[in-house]
Amino acid sequence: MNTISLDAAEEIIAAAQKRAQAIGKAVSVAVVDAGGFVVAIRRPDGARPLTPDIARAKAYTAAVMQRPGKMLKKWQESQPVFFSQLSQLPGAAMPIMATDGSVTIKKDGEIIGGLGIAGGTADEDQVIADEVLASLGYELEFAAWGVVGKPTPAASDSTKD
């Protein structure tokens, strides 16, 4: 299993904070490895005090759930009880945050980490994350889940009535 390096994490963080500055936002950025463990976090001057913790929880969620928060948000809407119980699991190191600004870091078809952005609006956090990862050559597609954010049924399931 590959994981994200410190150099790659710092490159992502620098690019994200540069992009955020361009739109007048002070955002905290967290990058975790594929297991959800912190590789790097940065809170710039002007960012609100809680934003590093929010960014870390977003990054953790994307890594351990192996799906971006935008996709998980749709799943959470259909199964709120399931999602409310995830953070209570004994092995959960952080809260599960199914929200924008939580993006899985994927390279060559393999999940190598998670990225969390916090400090802008939900849309701004998401745009920063998507633009930065795309510009650095990371993959953003999760076709197996289809467009509604839930796993598509297996071929054998489609024959059942």
β-partners of residue 45 are none
pTM: 0.84
pLDDT tens by residue, 92-150: 778 888 999 999 999 998 999 999 999 999 999 999 999 999 999 999 887 654 433 33
Q: pLDDT category, 2, cuts 50, 70, 90?
A: confident
Compute the distance between CA of residue 47 and CA of residue 153 in angstroms, rounded to an integer. 42
CATH code 3.90.550.10 for 6-140: no
Compute the distance between CA of residue 122 and CA of residue 70 in angstroms, rounded to an integer. 10
The ranges assigned to domains in the chain are 6-140
pLDDT tens by residue, 47-64: 999 999 999 999 999 999
Q: pLDDT category, 89, cuts 50, 70, 90?
A: confident
CB 90 within 8 A of CB 100: no
For the chain, percent of residues with pLDDT exceeding 70: 88
Q: In what order do the strands lie in the sheet with 102-107?
A: 38-42, 28-33, 110-118, 102-107
Q: pLDDT category, 82, cuts 50, 70, 90?
A: confident
